[in-house]
Structure 1
């Protein structure tokens, strides 16, 4: 992979928070050379393997690729300073949750292509999920970005922004919800008399092992559940609690709906910023 896969030179990361840092961690772990990267962050905090500057003026030649990796609420603060450094060959990849391509294009009109990427945190260990969408990226750009993000796990191009938003609501936010479930499983173990350390390890390894087994065997979750649950056994009794009135399904659906609603609100806020 590392013999053929290269980060475009130069590439700018504008900001480098949790998600931007996770991408860099994944590329670094995968053996990619980060030297084409310039990180632009006011704090000047170093990033291993990459050059860090505190302003666009210090970043050097116009970038081939720009990754927007800051909070979406800062778009109107950052875009005016960025746009003058983009060339007609610059591809902009936005990690900004909820900010649609039309809003990005209005703020960065000179870019060659605008691409949205919805990622999740496990890209840091190259087991992540990435959704990509662009109304104007050409075939070579799509292939290049697909390769870069496939190096971080599973990546796919989405048909439209609605489907990208759906991916973000499930996969982007999903690690937080899975983490809460693991924590709840551990707390239940503590309640049954296990130490916190042992309960936490058991819960984490159980979820990891179950996911790995299902992925390896290409097995459905229903099949996994049924293989664990013996008729009239202890697991089946527990499943009846989760399945009663579809309580677990409903709880997860309400949770995903709340995340999706916030994404829609962010999109409207970005549109309002342009109109204003």
Structure 2
């Protein structure tokens, strides 16, 4: 008989069973977390039953049922219903003193602690939709109430859906949201524009779709797998007086870099406005 003890997994509760919760649950299962340690509160019968069927997790109708005896709570509900979900959990949070990971945009740590009480150690997280494929990235922020063990647990949880980046100033979470949380939509907008332009140049729509999608995929892999900077990778593709240079000059004539800067600034401002309530 082996003397090696089997790993112990603390129960975790997901409050909300939507797409992002589903992606995190799938990632945890892939990493070997036993399904019977994962509890999900989801009032929509079809969603709750599908999660139980697909992953073997324990489904619950109410948040209190799911959170009972769980060391970690993941708040995965829409920001507009967060208060009505959290306030009834405050007595339980006082008893259990859980690690609470919120993936809701625009809800500050102080507001969450106001609703849940001082017993909850709160980590704010901003994952993005590629987490559904295990290829996401998550920005994380924790206050002084979260110890090193709590930070490690939060990072392990979000790492199941991709890479993680910590920020040490909560106000920077609005910039995280603007860059990576909203960022996939910017890429999709670029893809739409490139596909439309390709069709305008005479390419069949199916060919345009494949060419654009694979080009963006390949470029993204070069960014993540190469040690070179984005500017250096761009330089290597841009031959003097070639086709790429002509396109880059057209982008820059339209103030492309400044436009991107204004877009991310606008998203950051909107995030701050949502945080201020």
Structure 2: distance between partners of 1:148 and 1:60: 16
Instruction: Decide whether aligned partners of structure 1 residues 13 and 170 sit closer, same or farther in structure 2, where only a CA change above 3 A counts.
Output: same
Structure 2: distance between partners of 1:205 and 1:55: 43
Aligned equivalent of 2:146, options 113, 132, 137: 137
- The reply on whether 1:65 has 2:66 as its aligned counterpart is no
Mapping for residues 221-232 of structure 1, pairs under 5 Å: 221-232=230-241
| Aligned-residue offset at 1:90 | 0.9
Unmatched runs of 5 consecutive residues or more in structure 1 = 270-276
| Aligned-residue offset at 1:229 | 1.8
Mapping for residues 104-253 of structure 1, pairs under 5 Å: 104-135=112-143, 136-244=145-253, 247-253=255-261
Mapping for residues 81-96 of structure 1, pairs under 5 Å: 81-86=88-93, 87-96=95-104
Moved more, 196-205 or 148-157: 148-157
Structure 1: distance between partners of 2:261 and 2:201: 29
Instruction: Decide whether aligned partners of structure 1 residues 108 and 71 sit closer, same or farther in structure 2, where only a CA change above 3 A counts.
Output: same
Moved more, 200-209 or 211-220: 211-220
For the 8 Å contact 1:7–1:34, the answer to whether it is kept is no
Report the TM-score, using the length of structure 1 for normalisation.
0.88
Mapping for residues 45-56 of structure 1, pairs under 5 Å: 45=47, 46=49, 47=51, 48-49=54-55, 50-56=57-63
Deviations 1:252-273 (A, max 9, x none): 122212211221121111xxxx
For the 8 Å contact 1:190–1:196, the answer to whether it is kept is yes
Structure 1: distance between partners of 2:172 and 2:261: 16
| Aligned-residue offset at 1:101 | 0.6
What is the number of residues matched between the two proteins? 265
Instruction: Decide whether aligned partners of structure 1 residues 125 and 33 sit closer, same or farther in structure 2, where only a CA change above 3 A counts.
Output: farther
Structure 2: distance between partners of 1:140 and 1:58: 25
Deviations 1:77-114 (A, max 9, x none): 21222223323431111111111111111111153411
Instruction: Decide whether aligned partners of structure 1 residues 18 and 5 sit closer, same or farther in structure 2, where only a CA change above 3 A counts.
Output: farther
| Aligned-residue offset at 1:29 | 4.3
Aligned residue for 1:33? 34
Structure 2: distance between partners of 1:218 and 1:141: 31
SS for the counterpart of 1:231 is: coil
- The reply on whether 1:42 has 2:43 as its aligned counterpart is yes
| Aligned-residue offset at 1:122 | 1.4
For the 8 Å contact 2:101–2:154, the answer to whether it is kept is no
Structure 1: distance between partners of 2:240 and 2:142: 50
Structure ranking higher in helix proportion = 2
Aligned residue for 1:16? 17
Structure 1: distance between partners of 2:269 and 2:222: 33
For the 8 Å contact 2:128–2:181, the answer to whether it is kept is yes
Structure 2: distance between partners of 1:98 and 1:196: 38
CA-based RMSD: 2.1
Aligned residue for 1:100? 108
| Aligned-residue offset at 1:35 | 2.4
